[in-house]
Amino acid sequence: MTTAAHEFELLERTWRDVTPPAARRMLIAAAAAFAGRGYHATTTRDIAAQAGMSPAAVYIHYRSKEDLLFQISRIGHRRALEMLTGVTETEPVARMSAAVKAFSSWHAEYHLTARVVQYELTALTPEHHAEVVELRREIESTVRGMIEDGVAAGAFDVPDVRGATLAVLSLCIDVARWYKPGSRRTPESIGTLYADLVLRMLGA
Amino acid sequence: MTTAAHEFELLERTWRDVTPPAARRMLIAAAAAFAGRGYHATTTRDIAAQAGMSPAAVYIHYRSKEDLLFQISRIGHRRALEMLTGVTETEPVARMSAAVKAFSSWHAEYHLTARVVQYELTALTPEHHAEVVELRREIESTVRGMIEDGVAAGAFDVPDVRGATLAVLSLCIDVARWYKPGSRRTPESIGTLYADLVLRMLGA
DNA sequence: CCACATACTAAGCGGTTGCTTAGGTCCTAA
DNA sequence: TTAGGACCTAAGCAACCGCTTAGTATGTGG
């Protein structure tokens, strides 16, 4: 399979719950375009053409171009949060390791979605921005909780919990910026590498 | 002093070598606008208005809007590289620590410039992009060299040198994304925190 | 005094933008 | 059979984009 086809399949998987199919095709086209060129550099004509429809068809399914961005951002943030909350391990070190692995490898594997999620926030309307910031706060407090648990259990040695939380999230999020598919480093191997580096940072 | 005035002074300091003064005012206005709203969301009219001149005045000093971005990116990348090469320490651990401190705190203090440098790369023409990528390679190999020196001296315990290089740079660069001036965490304290976290990551 | 370069503005050009309108086609249910 | 809704397109509107042109003010060397 070509890289482009693989990228498309990953977007299909991310947005499979969106209906009707034409609305989904539009979201996928928008996500790919926003990730590749940025929100402001993407035109509604670009999106419609990629979805194989006329420019006016965008407005059958979405209120505006910004609405398209908001849907991608909202659902994308939920997916990112699920990577952290979906961890089943209970022991602090194993739990942290699994969370970092899932969260960082998600940012690699689904880097197109992740890029929109992490770098196009500022293009949202103030109301939509506030809604998304709430989800980001949940992500932040989830990670902070995991670090606090580890410290309480004596498994971590962390002088500055909030600072460490910042660094862990920062490290994982930035994967979406530099990751390029088809390189030697796979999402899986990035997850393993980062889980190890984070545990070292936390003095496990 | 207000935060806005402080931000302006930092931009003045970054671009003080640019002459004539009107060209400098234009660059500063462009850097602030590109950092705040992104390259594509910024109009040449925005830049000119912020610099207190007419829209046509941009083209007295610069070929195009993209040329403005290129100058910011080129000089900004050089400044970032200087943060790493300007380190005077020789002992590997102290050297790494000082480099990370300087590099990460630069991304906080000069976060407006750093944001343009790190997140607006893709808006450059292929030729300009290639020139800037060359500077980025220098930055990457400088950090990798420091890690290799530490490993060779037995001061670091790093299983994957290229992976660690990626993580160290990633951590520092991402500061430009999340840093906001006026918060409790100062550029200085971020530098100290990150130097410590990186040394832990490298098993110092 | 004038010739000329530098730095600037007012006006506007061709093209593009997000989005709307008017109308057509198809599917479904009474 | 037909009324009505869901979905889509062709055409285009007002606003805005990067950039250019024509012309003005200012200062400087001869």
A56-100 pLDDT, tens digit per residue, is 999 999 999 999 999 999 999 999 999 999 999 999 999 999 999
DSSP state letters, A29-46 = HHHHHHHHH-TTT--HHH
pLDDT band at A50 (very low <50, low <70, confident <90, very high): very high
Mean pLDDT across the stretch A175-195?
Answer: 97
Mean pLDDT across the stretch A127-137?
Answer: 98
Question: How much of chain A, in percent, has pLDDT values that exceed 70?
Answer: 100
- As a whole number of angstroms, the distance between CA B185 and CA B179 comes to 9
Higher pLDDT, B27 or A1: B27
DSSP state letters, B103-169 = HHHHHHHTHHHHHHHHH-GGGS-HHHHHHHHHHHHHHHHHHHHHHHHHHHTT----S-HHHHHHHHH
In the structure encoding, which two tokens stand for residue B37, read together? 């709203």
Task: Please report the pLDDT score of residue B101 as a whole number.
Answer: 98
Residue B26's nearest CA partner among B37, B11, B4 is: B11
- As a whole number of angstroms, the distance between CA A145 and CA A165 comes to 9
Provide the b/e sequence for A31-62 (b: ≥16 CB within 10 Å). Answer: bbbbbeebbbbbebebbbebbebeeebbeebb
CB B131 within 8 A of CB B67: no
Residue of chain B nearest A163, judged by CA positions: B193
3-state DSSP assignment of residue B1? coil
The pLDDT profile of chain B, 204 residues, written as one tens digit per residue, is 677 777 877 777 888 887 788 899 999 999 999 999 999 999 999 999 999 999 999 999 999 999 999 999 999 999 999 999 999 999 999 999 999 999 999 999 999 999 999 999 999 999 999 999 999 999 999 999 999 999 999 999 999 999 999 999 999 999 999 999 999 999 999 999 999 999 999 999
Please report, rounded to whole angstroms, the spatial distance between the CA atom of protein residue A103 and the C1' atom of nucleotide D15.
Answer: 43
- Whether B174 sits inside 8 A of A175 (CB atoms) is no
Please report, rounded to whole angstroms, the spatial distance between the CA atom of protein residue A18 and the C1' atom of nucleotide D3.
Answer: 30
In the structure encoding, which two tokens stand for residue A112, read together? 């197109």
Higher pLDDT, A162 or B6: A162
Chain C: nucleotides below 7 Å from protein CB are 7-12, 16-22
- As a whole number of angstroms, the distance between CA B73 and CA B118 comes to 8
Backbone angles phi, psi at B183, to 5 degrees: -80, 175
Task: Please report the pLDDT score of residue B178 as a whole number.
Answer: 98
Q: Is A20's CB less than 7 Å from nucleic acid strand D?
A: yes
- As a whole number of angstroms, the distance between CA B24 and CA B22 comes to 5
With a cut of 70, say whether residue A102 has pLDDT above it.
Answer: yes
With a cut of 80, say whether residue A12 has pLDDT above it.
Answer: no
In chain A, which residues from 70 to 129 place their CB closer than 7 Å to nucleic acid strand D? Answer: none
DSSP B50: H
Please state, in angstroms and as integers, the Cα–Cα distance from residue A35 to each residue in A27, A54, B122, following that order: 12, 21, 11
Alpha-carbon B91 to chain mean position: 25
Chain B closest CA to A160's CA: distance in Å?
Answer: 8
Name the pTM for this structure: 0.95
Q: Which of B170, B175, B192, B198 to mutate to test the interface with A (most CBs of A within 10 A)?
A: B170
Which residues from A are below 8 Å from B163, CB to CB? Answer: 185, 193, 197
3-state DSSP assignment of residue B185? coil
Task: Please report the pLDDT score of residue A6 as a whole number.
Answer: 77
